[in-house]
Structure 1
């Protein structure tokens, strides 16, 4: 993972962690359900954004390197990983 991607990911994770703790407090305080759900939706959106950043980095580093190599098995493996993760299947 590139250094700038790692730094960005860690900052986003810290913010997401704070959001999750906030939802926990909201539930403990018996806050209005719709407010809790809205916060959970914000967390899901933040995780989705983080997923995109990590996946983009993976494409620019690991996948690009494998596709440029002469190792056919490495290329096949990276493509299969992408198909599995984008298709929601476990490899």
Structure 2
């Protein structure tokens, strides 16, 4: 993982950690269910942003390098497995 991607990922994980702390407090305090659900949705969106950030970094570095090296099939298989489009082999 490149430095920029690592730093951005760690920042996003810090945000997610704080959101999880808030979610735990809401549940502990028996908050209004829609407030809990809203916080859970924020966490899910933050995880999706983290995934997109990592995938963008992977595509621009590892995938492009692998393509130049002639490993197209292996890279395609790896991406399909990541997203559950084919069974792990």
Whether TM-score is above 0.5 comes out as yes
CA distance in 1, matches of 2:36, 2:16: 15
- Gap regions ≥5 residues in structure 2: none
Kindly report the root-mean-square deviation, in angstroms, between the aligned alpha carbons of the 2 structures. Answer: 1.5
**Are 2:50 and 1:50 aligned?**
yes
- Match 1:84 to one of 73, 78, 81: 81
User: Structure 1 stretches of 5 or more lacking a match?
Assistant: none
In the alignment, which residue of structure 2 is the partner of 1:40?
40
Cα 1:34–1:19 shift into 2, 3 Å: same
TM-score, normalized by length of structure 1? 0.87
TM-score, length-normalised on structure 2? Answer: 0.89
